[in-house]
Structure 1
């Protein structure tokens, strides 16, 4: 990060943090806009929604899944969500450009509550991660200090991957 860089952009845009190609950084902004539109649709339907805007997203072969770094206030909201709700169902929206982008919508339909988690990964990391995934994938949300994390295990890992990776 240089003196001319916007520190907020580094905290809230993993594409910039990872010095990804311009097309990835540009699509990240589209993904965040889509997340906000999805959150609004849920809220307009009477749902309570928590959104996180990751600072970094790392495919993690040991989880296996994604290690997602979020701001402390967003982390605390995610903790409240997971402590007070059961993720009964999830839906993953995915797009592919120079990388694979996803928006995971984790729902407790009985309470009309949702947690929205965006992320992305380079194709080559997705191929490597796919080799480690069995029946589930974990989203691991970390605070900036990386001293604690909240994990959500999802049983539809194939939704995070294009056929070119999942079908291999």
Structure 2
């Protein structure tokens, strides 16, 4: 139904993706990484249809609980998150991802699940495919600050028909925390 939440009708799949994220974080811990798990409250594909022309923010806007956002800000402060793994699934119109942003020199990983509905992500998908880069904007409810991760070679973050499914890793720019006025 138009205007409905992207997870309408696929809530069970989302719960399974969250469980996969938690298992993925455990696998990193078992391999010696310090892993931070994040549990988004909402995810929005950017730009939104209403802001497609005006916005140059492209990617996923991820709302986090305040305590998880504070932990994230502290973790990324002195670390270079320059690699990522992403695991993709799709059910109907909804793409599900588990993203693991890695700072290998520090042995740190941030693992989080995200989703987007194809019907709402058309402009985002076009821009990401054209630029060869996707951004993830993680933020608290008040949207006063953000941690931004940039994923280069984002084919594994796009629907299967947008690119190569063979690779699961790509290079990224450093995760950084930004304050917004």
Tell me if 1:106 matches 2:106. no
SS of the equivalent of 1:85 reads coil
Aligned pairs, number: 150
Compare the two structures and name the one with the higher helix fraction: 1
1:152 and 2:149 are equivalent in the alignment? yes
1:47 pairs with 2:33: yes
1:106 Cα deviation from its structure 2 partner: 0.5
Query: What is the CA distance between 1:166 and its match in structure 2?
Result: 4.6
Shift of 1:164: 2.3
* TM-score relative to the length of structure 2: 0.77
1:77 is displaced (CA, Å) by 1.4
Distance in 2 (CA, whole Å) between partners of 1:52 and 1:18 is 20
Cα deviation for residue 126 of structure 1 reads 3.3
* Selected match of 2:5 from 18, 21, 25: 18
**C-alpha separation in 2, matches of 1:70 and 1:159:** 23
Match of 2:73 among 68, 79, 87: 79
Which whole-Å CA distance do the structure 1 matches of 2:6 and 2:103 have between them? 35
- Residue 162 of structure 1 and its aligned partner are, at CA, apart by 1.9
Unaligned 5+ runs, structure 1:
1-16
Greater fraction strand: 2
The CA RMSD measured in Å over matched residues stands at 1.8
SS of 1:100's equivalent? strand
Q: 1:67/1:45 Cα in 2 relative to 1: closer, same or farther (>3 Å)?
A: same
Which of the residues 108, 114, 127 maps onto 2:122? 127
Which TM-score applies when normalising by structure 1? 0.82
Unaligned 5+ residue runs, structure 2?
48-55, 165-181
